[in-house]
Amino acid sequence: MSTTEEAAAQTQIGFGLNEDQLAIKDWIHDFAANTVRPAAEEWDEKESTPWEIIQEAANIDLYSLDGLAQIWADPTGLTLPVVQEELFWGDAGIGMAIMGTTLAVASILGQGTGDQIGEWIPRCFGTKSDVKVAAFCSSEPGSGSDVSAIRTTAKYDEKTDEWVLNGQKAWATNGGIADVHVVIATVDPTLKARGHAAFVISKDETANITQGAKVKKHGLRASHTADVLLDDCRVPGSALLGGKDKLDARIARAKEGTKSKGNASMATFEASRPTVGAQALGIARAAYDYALEYAKTREQFGRPIIDNQAIAFKLADMKMEIDAARLLVWRAAWMGAGIFRGETPKFENAEGSMAKLKAGTVATWATGEAMQILGGNGYTREYPVERMHRDSRIYEIFEGTSEIQRLVISRAISGMRIR
């Protein structure tokens, strides 16, 4: 390619997916339409993990290290949000049951050594004949948005080269049923968030890590959420993600007052925000699709209700807001994938938080509008938009509330410590 051609290629802007991405989109959509959606009501009512559906996802290599590695490694960054949107279009609860493992995987990938990545990430998924799930444990009863308030402790026993963890984790997706748990703990409480570290633990091989109370949730009920209890839980020194030398150096810098590059919890959340936004998009689009078809076939006063501007304008606004949110999600995903293009990902204006905030808000609003379009039917469990509305609500709460996202964005654009 000539210099002129290279320059032209660099200045081209496109909003379409390439052939590979379109093929993956169709593949996931078929799985969502034919396997996930027909099972959605059943598993929402059961409020239990749909192991059979996770197994089906493993059988087609959607739920596997190899399958997700190909999705993640896309240099455009768009394949992952496309997959998430299609899967969660099928059903958010089952979608979270399948994708909940990836939060722990992201933490291991982002903070672990090469050896730790090679050992632990495959174990997060298990095998097709023995499927496993993983859990990321950060929140606690007294610390959600305020990650600096984490009280779970990790103390190093030099005699045995072990870490001893004590504490209670809350709101852990797959907590207690997972083999692999990534646990955020404080090794130096005086440093607050800068004194945190991440530990990878196999529940099947480690004593004194147990499931606490299972959470009965408003939505995402097919996804298991529970407390995780650690009572003098001993793990080998090798369980510390990144290794002790790296931790000691970071703690030393913190005590000297050197500027921090982040902490174990926030690093994982920041990387996952565009993905979470894509999940919310899937829910919003599902509600829009259903409401659109309903409005075209439901008749009142002798004509389809979409003939009324009050209904048609709602649908127009829904479509516009969903598409606008998708552009923010795709932009953030493209920026985050810079690492695969030899670039350093940098969200100068908290673009990841913008994507998650907008998509979460749109999902809650759009599913509410869908319920309104369906009228009384939308309020019943006989129609799926009621479940979609329940599922959407968490997207303004978890992985950073809407208020926290606005705080992150305002700090980024102002350069000031907004409180």
pLDDT of 9 over the 50 cut: no
Residues 185 and 344: their CA atoms lie apart, in Å, by 28
pLDDT value at residue 11: 46
CATH superfamily of 134-256: Butyryl-CoA Dehydrogenase, subunit A, domain 2 (2.40.110.10)
For the segment 142-181, what is each residue's pLDDT rounded down to a tens digit? 887 677 789 999 999 999 999 999 999 999 999 999 999 9
In which residue ranges of the chain is CATH 2.40.110.10 found?
134-256
d(CA 71, CA 81): 9
Residues 388-404: what's their mean pLDDT?
Answer: 95
pLDDT at 266: 54
CATH of span 16-131: 1.10.540.10
Quick: pLDDT tens for 119-142. 999 999 999 999 999 999 999 998
How confident is the prediction for the chain on average, in pLDDT? 92
Options 56, 140, 270, 399, the catalytic residue: 399
Question: Residue 65 carries which side chain, given as an amino acid letter?
Answer: L
Token pair for 138: 């950060």
- State the pLDDT confidence band at 261, using cuts at 50, 70 and 90: low
pLDDT at 59 (0 to 100) = 96
Task: Indicate if 399 belongs to the active site.
Answer: yes
Query: Which CATH superfamily does the domain covering 264-414 fall into?
Result: Butyryl-CoA Dehydrogenase, subunit A, domain 3 (1.20.140.10)
**What's the mean pLDDT in 253-276?**
68
Q: What is the mean pLDDT of residues 58-70?
A: 93
Whether the per-residue pLDDT at 240 is higher than 90: the answer is yes
Of residues 140 and 348, more confidence is placed in 140
Does residue 274 surpass a pLDDT of 80? Answer: yes
Q: Which residue has the tokens 């633990």?
A: 201
| pLDDT attached to residue 348 | 86
- What is the location of CATH 1.10.540.10 in the chain? 16-131
Higher pLDDT, 379 or 72: 379
pLDDT at 356 over 60: yes
27 token code pair? 């593949």
- How does residue 260 score in pLDDT terms, banded at 50, 70 and 90? low
What is the C-alpha to C-alpha distance for residues 226 and 211, in angstroms, rounded to an integer?
A: 7
Mean pLDDT for the stretch of residues 8-22: 73
Angle between helix 402-414 and helix 351-374 axes, rounded to 10 deg: 140
Structure confidence by residue, pLDDT tens digits, 24-36: 999 999 999 999 9
Strands 225-236 and 162-173: antiparallel
Q: How big is the chain, counted in residues?
A: 419
List the structure tokens of 140: 């606690």
For residues 373 and 368, give the distance between their C-alpha atoms in angstroms, rounded to a whole number. Answer: 9
Confidence of residue 255 (pLDDT cuts 50, 70, 90): confident
Whether the Cβ atoms of residue 253 and residue 283 lie closer than 8 Å to each other = no
Check whether 272 has a pLDDT greater than 60: yes
Task: Decide if pLDDT at 185 tops 70.
Answer: yes
Q: What is the 3-state secondary structure (H, E, C) of the chain?
A: CCHHHHHHHHHCCCCCCCHHHHHHHHHHHHHHHHHHHHHHHHHHHHCCCCHHHHHHHHHCCCCCHHHHHHHHCCCCCCHHHHHHHHHHHHCHHHHHHHHCHHHHHHHHHHHCCHHHHHHHHHHHHEECCEECCEEEECCECCECCCHHHCCCEEEEECCCCEEEEEEEEEEEECCCCCCEEEEEEECCHHHHHHHEEEEEEECCCCCCEEEEEECCCCCCCCCCEEEEEEEEEEEEHHHECCCHHHHHHHHHHHHHCCCCCCCHHHHHHHHHHHHHHHHHHHHHHHHHHHHHHHHHHCEECCEEHHHCHHHHHHHHHHHHHHHHHHHHHHHHHHHHHHHHHCCCCCCCCCHHHHHHHHHHHHHHHHHHHHHHHHHHHHHCCCCCHHHHHHHHHHHHCCCCCHHHHHHHHHHHHHCCCCC
Instruction: Give residue-wise pLDDT tens across range 42-63.
Output: 999 999 999 999 999 999 999 9
**pLDDT, position 146:** 74
Please say if the pLDDT value at position 192 is more than 50: yes
Q: Which residues are within 8 A (CB) of 196 and not within 5 positions of it... i.e. 6 or more apart?
A: 147, 150, 184, 185, 186, 187, 263, 264, 265
**Parts of the chain belonging to CATH 1.20.140.10:** 264-414
164: left (phi over 0), alpha (psi -120 to 50) or beta: beta
What is the phi-psi region of residue 185: left when phi exceeds 0, alpha when psi lies from -120 to 50, beta otherwise?
beta
Give residue 269's pLDDT. Answer: 57
- pLDDT surpasses 50 at 6: no
What would the mean pLDDT of 382-389 be, rounded to a whole number? Answer: 98
Instruction: pLDDT band for 270, please (50, 70, 90 cuts).
Output: low
What angle separates helix 385-392 from helix 264-297, to the nearest 10 degrees? 160
**The pLDDT of residue 12:** 55
Output the pLDDT for position 360.
98
Spatial separation of the C-alpha atoms in residues 23 and 315, rounded to whole Å: 28
pLDDT for residue 245 is more than 90: yes
Helices 264-297 & 79-90, crossing angle to 10 degrees? 50
Region 378-399: mean pLDDT is 97
pLDDT digits (tens, 9 = 90+) for 293-346: 999 999 999 999 999 999 999 999 999 999 999 999 999 999 888 777 878 767
CB neighbour list of residue 30: distance below 8 Å, 6 or more residues apart: none
